[in-house]
């Protein structure tokens, strides 16, 4: 698994607070048994009207094509636990999201697929957003080791839950391999923990 220490790229601002996962990926795109093609459905109902015509939206802006960093507001990713939301963002080519705050489940889902979510102080975030709006070609750098976001000669301190930062920079953001190492202990717990069972099948002590 790849260690994720630094991300550099052009950015796009998605304005607004409390952007929920239903908006990021409308539920009808969840009717599939794979995550394939989700990138194209990202923010679909905000990018296209009901007849499929493009609306004005930052992701439709030709100048923003190829951006790999998304700048958002507060409470990003609230609502449904659908991993389809971070999957769609990642599959649309984004590697990092910078915001004021993230919803709990979204943050966990994103981190586990190596999509970096970091926060800035509201004031710094405002400065960054304005700078990105004014500099479509400008590059933003998210440095997880130095805990900094850099843009246009400026530096702003970033925040991220330490366990997530550690998992990303050490290349352990997908925990499955580490979880599998402890299967002996897990089986022991299974043996003593109560579990749902038909009458008489209840055998727990712990």
Partner 1 sequence: MAGKTLYEKVWEAHEVRRLKSGQSQLFIDLHLIHEVTSPQAFGMLRELGLKVAMPHRTFATVDHIVPTDSRKEPFADPLAQAMIEELRKNTREHGIELFDVGSGRQGIVHVVGPEQGLTQPGFTIVCGDSHTSTHGAFGAIAFGIGTTQVRDVLATQTVAMPRLKVRRINVNGRLKPGVGAKDVILHIIRTLGVGGGQGYAYEYGGPVIEEMSMEGRMTVCNMSIEGGARIGYVNPDETTFTYLKGRPYAPGDDEWEAAVARWRSLASDPDAEYDDVVEIDGSAIAPYVTWGINPGQAITVEERVPDPEEFPEDEAALVREALEYMKLEPGRPIKGQKIDVAFVGSCTNGRLSDLREAARVVRAAGGRVAAGVRALVVPGSEQVARQAEAEGLDRVFREAGFEWRYAGCSMCLAMNPDKLVGDEISISSSNRNFKGRQGSPRGRTLLASPAMVAAAALAGEVVDVREVLGVDA
Report in angstroms how near the CB of residue 149 gets to partner 1 at its nearest. 21
DSSP element (H, E) containing 140: strand 139-143
Strands 116-119 and 96-99: parallel
The pair of three-digit structure tokens given for residue 146, joined into one six-digit string:
């130095």
From residue 147, give the alpha-carbon distance in Å to each of 118, 144, 159.
Answer: 9, 5, 7
Report in angstroms how near the CB of residue 114 gets to partner 1 at its nearest. 10
Interface with partner 1, residue 183, by CB under 8 A: yes
Interface with partner 1, residue 123, by CB under 8 A: no
Q: Count Cβ atoms below 10 Å from residue 27 Cβ, excluding itself.
A: 11
Contact range with partner 1 by CB under 8 A, out of 5-13, 56-64, 143-151, 198-206: 198-206
Interface with partner 1, residue 20, by CB under 8 A: yes
From residue 57, give the alpha-carbon distance in Å to each of 14, 43, 45, 47, 95.
Answer: 8, 9, 10, 6, 20
Q: Which residues bind partner 1 (CB under 8 A)?
A: 16-18, 20, 22-23, 26-28, 30-35, 45, 49-50, 74-75, 78-84, 86, 101, 103-105, 108-109, 112-113, 161-164, 166-167, 170, 172, 174-176, 178-180, 182-183, 185-186, 189-190, 193-200, 202, 206
């Amino acid at each position: 698994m790849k260690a994720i220490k630094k991300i550099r790229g052009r950015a796009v601002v998605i304005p607004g607070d409390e952007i929920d996962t239903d908006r990021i990926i409308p539920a009808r795109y969840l009717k599939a048994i794979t995550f394939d093609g989700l990138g194209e459905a990202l923010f679909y109902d905000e990018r296209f009207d009901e007849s499929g015509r493009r609306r004005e939206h930052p992701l439709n802006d030709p100048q923003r094509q190829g951006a790999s960093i998304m700048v958002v507001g507060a409470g990003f990713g609230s609502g449904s636990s659908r991993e389809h939301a971070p999957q769609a963002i990642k599959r649309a080519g984004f590697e990092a999201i910078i915001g004021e705050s993230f919803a709990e489940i979204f943050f966990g889902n994103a981190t586990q697929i190596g999509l970096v979510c970091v926060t800035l102080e509201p004031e710094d975030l405002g400065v960054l957003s304005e700078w990105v709006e004014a500099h479509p070609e400008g590059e933003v750098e998210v440095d997880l080791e130095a805990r900094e976001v850099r843009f246009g000669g400026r530096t702003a301190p970033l925040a991220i839950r330490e366990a997530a930062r550690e998992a990303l920079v050490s290349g352990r953001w997908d925990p499955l391999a580490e979880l599998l190492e402890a299967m002996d202990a897990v089986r022991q717990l299974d043996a003593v923990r109560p579990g749902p069972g038909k009458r008489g099948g209840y055998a727990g002590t712990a």
